[in-house]
């Protein structure tokens, strides 16, 4: 069994590589739900949807989120009616959100819904939300403490980050199957996701960090920082705000108590010695997932094949 700790787009692309080299039924993704939010009465669960829809082959590949071929009638009418339009939900995506919200109101859990959706959409790997309890990542900024999606999408990250809060995390329980899958894994890979707000949020759920430290399986992380820049998203500002250098070495420091190996990009080879000095093995490869072959290569390297 292969367990992958996953955020959104970067993790989904990495998982596309994993399923090229391993049977999908042996792959479990434990997915960040700290980006989840309530908007217009709907429960939005971006990372779970990104992973599910990417692996099901129905993602809008250009954006990395949303549904392929989607239309925008809903957003157009929302705009006419003076509703919020900063967070785009296409018409097909809307169906997914209405259905999820309805099932939650009927008493279903996020993980039950994730299973229903992945089967309905044809996602071949197991997708486990990190928790069924409400956890929300909030960013401390000069204009107040705002939800991560407001910082990321509404403000387009053009606002200072003073800190990060994982609201609800201390009371959250890992979703059913999360701790067992970590315990029973043959290998655990931390996807090239944001170490602070994607993976950091998963690790903030009590029990998950301890399970990773106790597992007999090797724990391998892939640096999402390449040449001092994030492959996607606001990792640099968030790492700085949390006191980490925005580099492959900073990523190693984020995970130093957890991982056996860090996969870094060839352009970051200069950090290998310093990372090894932390007691972490280093594997150097091309980590940019340009195409299917690059995703496959990264999955092979991370899985030690
Ligand atoms: N990202 C954007 O940049 N703009 C959007 O309007 C947007 C809408 C959206 C709707 C559904 C969904 O599942 C994801 C969506 N995302 C959007 C992506 C999301 O904000 C982030 O990429 C993740 O939360 C970070 O992993």
Q: Are 15 and 29 in contact (CB under 8 A)?
A: yes
Q: Where are the alpha helices (DSSP H) in 22-168?
A: 46-55, 73-80, 91-105, 110-121, 148-149
Q: Express each pLDDT in 162-180 by its tens digit.
A: 999 999 999 999 999 999 9
| pLDDT, position 231 | 79
Q: Can you tell me the distance from the alpha carbon of 209 to that of 199, in angstroms, rounded to the nearest whole number?
A: 10
Cα–chain center distance at 242: 18
What residue owns the CA closest to ligand 1's atom 25?
Answer: 8
Q: What is the pLDDT of residues 91-144, one digit of tens each?
A: 999 999 999 999 999 999 999 999 999 999 999 999 999 999 999 999 999 999
Residues whose CB falls within 8 Å of the CB of residue 77, separated by 6 or more in sequence, listed in order: none
Cβ of 79: how many Cβ atoms within 10 Å? 12
Q: What's the pLDDT tens digit per position in 16-52?
A: 999 999 999 999 999 999 999 999 999 999 999 999 9
Ligand 1: centre distance to CA 70 (Å): 14
Report the atom number in ligand 1 closest to the C-alpha of 35. Answer: 24
> What is the phi/psi pair of residue 138, to 5°?
-120, 150
37 Cα–ligand 1 center, Å: 11
- With cut-offs at 50, 70 and 90, classify the pLDDT of residue 213: very high
Q: How far is the CA of 44 from the centre of ligand 1 (A)?
A: 9
10 Å CB burial of residue 128 (0-12, 13-18, 19+) is buried
Q: What atom in ligand 1 is closest to the CA of residue 198? A: 26
The confidence score (pLDDT) of residue 273 equals 98
First-to-last alpha carbon distance for the chain, in angstroms, is 15
Output the pLDDT for position 89: 98
Site of tokens 């971006």? 46
Q: Find out whether the beta carbon of 250 lies less than 6 Å from any atom of ligand 1.
A: no
- Residue 202: pLDDT above 90? yes
Query: Over 80: is that where the pLDDT of 151 sits?
Result: yes
- The answer to whether 233 touches 156, Cβ cutoff 8 Å, is no
């Amino acid at each position: 069994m292969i367990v992958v700790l996953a955020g959104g787009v970067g993790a989904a692309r990495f998982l596309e590589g994993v399923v090229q080299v391993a049977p999908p039924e042996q792959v479990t993704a434990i997915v960040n739900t700290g980006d989840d939010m309530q908007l217009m009465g709907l429960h939005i669960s971006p990372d779970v949807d990104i992973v599910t829809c990417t692996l099901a082959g129905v993602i809008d590949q250009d954006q990395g989120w949303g549904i392929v071929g989607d239309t925008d009638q809903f957003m157009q009418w929302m705009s006419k009616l003076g509703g919020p339009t900063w967070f785009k939900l296409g018409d097909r995506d809307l169906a997914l959100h209405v259905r999820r919200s309805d099932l939650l109101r009927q008493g279903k859990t996020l993980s039950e819904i994730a299973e229903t959706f992945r089967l309905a959409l044809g996602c071949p790997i197991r997708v486990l939300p990190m928790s069924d309890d409400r956890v929300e990542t909030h960013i401390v900024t000069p204009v107040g403490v705002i939800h991560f999606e407001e910082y990321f999408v509404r403000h387009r990250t053009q606002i200072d980050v003073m800190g990060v809060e994982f609201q609800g995390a201390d009371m959250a329980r890992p979703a059913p199957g999360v701790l067992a899958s970590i315990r029973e894994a043959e290998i655990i890979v931390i996807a090239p996701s944001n170490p602070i707000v994607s993976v950091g949020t998963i690790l903030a759920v009590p029990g998950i960090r301890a399970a990773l430290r106790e597992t007999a399986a090797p724990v391998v992380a892939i640096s999402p920082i390449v040449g001092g820049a994030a492959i996607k998203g606001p990792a640099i500002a968030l790492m700085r705000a949390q006191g980490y250098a925005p580099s492959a070495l900073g990523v190693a420091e984020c995970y130093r108590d957890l991982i056996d190996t860090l996969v870094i990009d060839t352009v970051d080879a200069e950090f290998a010695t310093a990372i090894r000095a932390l007691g972490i093995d280093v594997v150097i490869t091309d980590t940019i997932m340009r195409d299917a072959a690059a995703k496959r290569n990264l999955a092979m390297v991370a899985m030690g094949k």
